[in-house]
Structure 1
Amino acid sequence: MRMAQTPAAADGSSGDGALGRVPPQSIEAEACVLGSMILDAMAIDQVVQILHDDYFYRPAHQIIFRCLVQMRHESKAIDLVTIKEDLVRRDLLEKIGGQDYLVALAEGVPTSANAEYYAQIVRDKALLRQLISVGTQIVRDAYETQDEAPIVVDHAEQSIFEIAEQHIGDSVITLQDLLRHTFEMLEQHEGQLITGLASGYTQLDELTSGFQKGEMIVLAARPSMGKTSLLLNIAENMAVIDQAPVAIFSLEMSRNQLAERFLASHARFNLRQMRRGVITPETWTALQTAAGTLETAPIFIDDSASLTVIQLMARARRLKSLHDIQCVLVDYMQLMLYSGRATSRQEQITEISRGIKALAHDLEIPVIVAAQLNRGPADRPTHTPRMSDLRESGSIEQDADVVMLLHNEDYYHLGEEGYQPRGVTDLIVAKQRNGPTGSVPLVFLKDYTKFESATFGVEQPLGEPMADAPF
């Protein structure tokens, strides 16, 4: 490639990078990008979707790129003469190496048809330089920070994650392509009406259309209502039926307890008998069969009892990167530790809730988190829970896209003479940011710690969102 020399003062490539080495760059690709833009104004429209001026390693190339983009924006004719005049007017011609350098750029490019390919090379080199810069900053922060170590680690991981997940040059898509994609989804889910991740409970999935990407779903209940069981049942349905990789963060139960519950639920075997070792040859075979199915289910379990939201986000990012998890389930929110500076528990839960919401958004997957309700349901005559019963912080209901409240009226009438048990646990969808609210009847099989859809009754729609739903 024939190219005029750039003055040293304008050429940032001559200096040493980190550790005395020249940072990653491709001067040839940069020159080809600019040459393509000079020869074909249409190439500018392609390149600007991929590159910014600071992606160029040479300062002179940054100047020329900004000049070409501005001229295109102003609908000016672009050729060697007009570019030279524009640079002269801005007193920048000598800084980029003079007219000879512009001529060399135009004559040195093989073809402007490859402008997008050249731009991708420039972008990739820029990403590598960003990674070096972030790595240097991580080292500096580790030496000089006044923050606690977990916060520094999270900032470091987030910085690298942002580089890895950069979607540079998001392109505009036509309505035709969108409609084609929509019909492909409709065909894929024909008869199911599920556009998100199915829970395995038909009426719930019909109400929500599945748990959607980026959603924070709260499953709240009073103690002994079965929220942990339902959380695990949902995870089991996702991983076994749909083979969707899921991650469970259990702050309340150990990994062994979770394994026993999964096995009892899937084999429909009495959990108490399993723990006591009361197993016949026939039931042993059933347990082995269930275990074989569960072994192939992509379920990842973290039973750290002392888990902060920063640690949750870091571990979930790794699992997403390594195993492409499609859902995160947390049991339960109020047990999470806090590592920041907020003093009141309400402020701490607010920060934890916001972190969980950010996790769902960043990983673009649903995050289902169990939460404890206060004594409000026990103190009112109907015992029906409300979102305002969410314990310690109103920010949970504000951050959540979906709030589900688990309610078993029979629990409040145990041993009460004359009371006729309903045998039904109501899963109340009290808030759904992008859909209707309603109630789904479930039956809890206590021996198996398993919820199943009720075979009787119908979903009772609540109509308009509840009065205390914060939209």
Structure 2
Amino acid sequence: MNKIVKFEPNTKNYLPHNFLAEKMILSCMLVNSHVIEIVIKNLTTEAFYFKNHQEIFKTILILHKNKKIIDIITLTTFLQETGKINQIGGIKVLIELINQVPNLVYLDDYVKLVKDKFIRRLLIKLGYKIINSSYITNIPLETILNDLDYEIFTLTNNFQFKNLVSSTDLIYKVFLELQENSINPILPGLASGFYSLDSFTQGFQNSDLIIIAGRPSIGKTAFALSIILNVLNSSKLPVLIFSLEMSKKQIIYRLLSMETNISQLRLRSGKLYKTDWIKLNKILKIFSKIPLFIDDTSNLSIYDIRSKIKLINSRYQKIGLVVVDYLQLMQSVESKNENRVQELAKITRSLKNIANDFNLPVIALSQLSRSIETRSDKKPILSDLRESGSIEQDADLVLMLYKNEKSLIDDFSSNSIKIIDLIVAKQRNGPTGNLKIKFDQIRTKYSDL
């Protein structure tokens, strides 16, 4: 058996760092207490390369947290009492920092320099981790790639350089935004195309995980496709559908039926009239230009979803919406020793992370538990979500479709038209309540009542 050699960074050669920039930042923090808040929002202890600088930074953070005065006396006293004064190189190191006379105007540049070197060190360590992981053959390759992909994405996403903005600038920008919105009212989130729902939620917000739940055959996919068409028509932003239940062709037939008002039965049978062909030609031309992407991979993993979102995102820069149909059909790559509840908890948490990482709304369809059928009141509640704990916890918005027999009315010309209750069962940043929408069963299309 070949022995696996563990590759590690050669610490004999210095890793990337900037000694003077680190000294300048610590000096700024000692000279001006207002600087501390700015620095701690941008740098962690590990961002400092030298151990004595890390210790000084940690001490400043402790004193700041305890609302103590921060100067050479309090700093020296704390380090002496904790027995760490010699670890930092003695009091002479602190005196050097005080005598540095830093220019606070260039603090932003110092922070950027230190952060740049910190990211480079992390990349070097990650490079060695990639090499070592490649030798471990008893871990699935998909798991290794998923972990590494997520680490790289987190690294680039969390450590992007951002301009330091004062509260005065922020307040001024917010005031201008409020003024602009009062003159030209806009929806803060992505419009679903359902007026009653958008009024209630102010649209789908970026980084939100939205759950659409209901019993089988209630029309969850139809509702999601109605939203997708509305988003494509209004925003022109790309939409991704990950369909684990229906094929690409089935989805296209549904969309064509919804847009042309030709029943799926007639579309599939080919019993089309001349007027139907005119409608189809018009819609097909539109469909050929819209940025709609459909993936009907059956054994879909979170890694697949993340990779494909990155691919589309790199091409279009901005994605409007991601839809997963549906949750209970997804599998986790690490599910060997887990029950289904634990497995689903990982999936919903990963979907929420995707919404956060790519800053877009993610819609996931979900089944409701069969226990609802045994109750006299069949109106769904949050606990009716199958394996509900994790879904309820991670979701920012939970919408439930319910065919309330008491609300069905006969004022429509076709028996195929039904009134469906749209229950806003959870909304993290808004109210909950009950709305009503219209469902055309023949064309599987939802619309405003």
For residues 396 and 91 of structure 1, the distance between their equivalents in structure 2, rounded to whole angstroms, comes to: 50
Q: Does 1:328 align with 2:328?
A: no
Instruction: State whether structure 2 residue 200 is matched by structure 1 residue 217.
Output: no
Specify the alignment match of 2:155 in structure 1.
Answer: 163
State the shift of 1:316 in Å.
4.0
Q: Distance in 2 between matches of 1:61 and 1:445?
A: 67
**Cα pair 1:47 1:119 within 8 Å, conserved:** yes
Equivalent position to 1:354, from 341, 349, 352: 349
Kindly report the root-mean-square deviation, in angstroms, between the aligned alpha carbons of the 2 structures: 4.3
| Residues 349 and 393 in structure 1, CA contact (< 8 A), matched pair in contact too | no
Distance 1:148 1:115 in 2: 45
Aligned counterparts of 1:443 and 1:291: Cα–Cα separation in 2: 25
1:401 aligns with 2:396: yes
* Deviation of 1:331 (Å): 0.4
The CA distance in 2 between the partners of 1:48 and 1:398, in whole Å, is 30
122, 128, 140: which one aligns with 1:136: 128
For 2:147 and 2:20, the matched residues in 1 are separated by: 35
Letter aligned with residue 336 of structure 1: M
Aligned with residue 55 of structure 1, among 47, 51, 65: 47
Distance 1:302 1:169, change over 3 A: same
The equivalent of 1:469 in structure 2 is none
Q: Quote the Cα distance in structure 2 between the aligned partners of 1:398 and 1:34.
A: 41
1:452 is displaced (CA, Å) by: 1.0
Identical pairs, percent: 31
Letter in structure 1 aligned against 2:195:
T
Report the residue type matching 2:206 in the other structure. K
The 2-side partners of 1:430 and 1:207 are apart by: 12
Deviations 1:339-376 (A, max 9, x none): 32344434433433333344334444332211122444
Structure 1 equivalent of residue 411 of structure 2: none
Which residue of 2 is the match for residue 118 of structure 1? 110
Task: Sort the Cα spacing of 1:301 and 1:23 in 2 relative to 1 into closer, same or farther, 3 A.
Answer: farther
2:412 is aligned to none
CA contact (8 A) 1:247 1:299 kept: yes
User: 1:25-424 to 2 correspondence within 5 Å?
Assistant: 25-27=17-19, 29-30=21-22, 33=25, 46-59=38-51, 61-62=53-54, 74-77=68-71, 91-92=85-86, 95=89, 102=96, 106=100, 111-144=103-136, 146-166=138-158, 174=167, 177-178=170-171, 180-181=173-174, 184=177, 187-188=180-181, 194-280=187-273, 282-316=275-309, 319=312, 323-339=317-333, 340-380=335-375, 383-409=378-404, 423-424=418-419
In structure 1, how many angstroms separate the alpha carbons of the residues matched to 2:416 and 2:68? 75
Any idea what SS the aligned residue of 1:57 has?
A: coil
Distance 2:41 2:217 in 1: 54
Residues 358-395 of structure 1 deviation map (CA, whole Å, 9 limit, x = unaligned): 43344443322111224445555665444444335454
Q: How far off its partner does 1:157 sit?
A: 1.7
Equivalent residue letter for 2:399: M
Larger radius of gyration: 1
Using the alignment, how far apart are the partners of 1:301 and 1:40 within structure 2? 55
Per-residue deviation, residues 56-98 of structure 1 (Å, max 9, x unmatched): 33445546656777788753556xx999999999654994896
Q: Which residue is equivalent to 1:24?
A: 16
Q: Helix, strand or coil for the counterpart of 1:197?
A: coil
1:429 aligns with 2:428: no
Aligned length: 429
Tell me the distance in 2 between the aligned counterparts of 1:87 and 1:388. 53
Aligned partner of residue 448 in structure 1, secondary structure: coil
Relative to the length of structure 2, the TM-score reads 0.77
Contact 1:430-1:438 at 8 Å conserved across structures: yes
1:452 alignment counterpart: 447
What is the TM-score normalised by the length of structure 1?
0.74
Asked if the contact 1:38/1:106 (under 8 Å) is kept, the reply is no
Q: Larger deviation: 324-333 or 67-76?
A: 67-76
Q: How far does residue 45 in structure 1 lie from its aligned partner after superposition?
A: 5.7
CA distance in 2, matches of 1:253, 1:229: 12
Asked if 1 retains the 8 angstrom alpha-carbon contact of 2:16 and 2:118, the reply is: yes
Stretches of structure 2 that go unaligned for 5 or more consecutive residues are 1-7, 409-414
Letter in 1 for 2:222: S
Structure 1 unmatched runs, 5+: 1-15, 414-419, 455-471
Match of 1:417 in 2: none
1:54 aligns to what SS in structure 2? helix
The verdict on how the C-alpha distance between 1:51 and 1:304 changes in structure 2, with shifts beyond 3 A counting, is same
Report the counterpart of residue 4 of structure 1 in structure 2.
Answer: none
| Contact 1:404 1:431 survives alignment (8 Å) | yes
In structure 1, give the amino acid aligned to 2:440.
L
CA distance in 2, matches of 1:60, 1:387: 52
- Could you tell me which amino acid in structure 2 is paired with residue 207 of structure 1? F
Measured at CA, do residues 185 and 267 of structure 1 come closer, stay the same or move farther in structure 2, by a change above 3 Å? farther
